[in-house]
Structure 1
């Protein structure tokens, strides 16, 4: 093969890889926009040095007809922001969970995600936090930061 042929094949391969990667990101962007996260429970509540630590169980819900099966670190749950029912940000979890597979129209439960709530943040709303912990499914609002192929999404 001559140099022109080699360069031509390399160029076509590079363009194809870019388009394939772009289509993959586009496909998963659509999936991420439909993905849902739901608190399933909270336990092991501990108070130490003004920080409430709690283990949270989370359901990852895929309401689409396409399975999410992204291997390795290509899909990572980076952060989970915790909010009170009134919308006040009260805490955060930084699980860095990867290798997540969720079947089409299915759910995957992730358990024991350590979260931290600062008493300084909640201030006078400690009773609201007690209400949240008594029924986290109903009273804890979350916002999840997810990274897919290096692109960040907030769900």
Structure 2
């Protein structure tokens, strides 16, 4: 799950995020366009670190955080969220390395299947995941906000 991973461009260190990494990780998510007004990224970060069935993995090149992925197990399936690679580091293997680390984390917990959600108009990201062997599933995602302020 963690350790040094060789990418197309360099060697990066992947490790579990710590609370102090929050501002840098959230800034990365923002730079990658992953934050939405209805999701509190700070709360998402804190909850992932505080819940034993989830984590956030980060990649560092030297001291800079250049990639991250949130992953967790809901008791039925493994999920991936917030896969982010710094815009100036894309197409160098960092995304593949982060997905491999997330899959390894999930496999280590006996998770039988990985799932993730991508906005249906995000063709570039859909292509990235297809190249990794992920397939579109025949499901519709439904949702409702549970907070009164949404």
TM-score band by shorter chain is under 0.3
Structure with more contact order per residue of length (Cα contacts < 8 Å, sep ≥ 6): 1
Per the normalisation by structure 1, the TM-score is 0.21
User: Which protein has the bigger strand share?
Assistant: 1
Larger CA Rg, structure 1 vs 2:
1
Instruction: Output the TM-score relative to the length of structure 2.
Output: 0.22
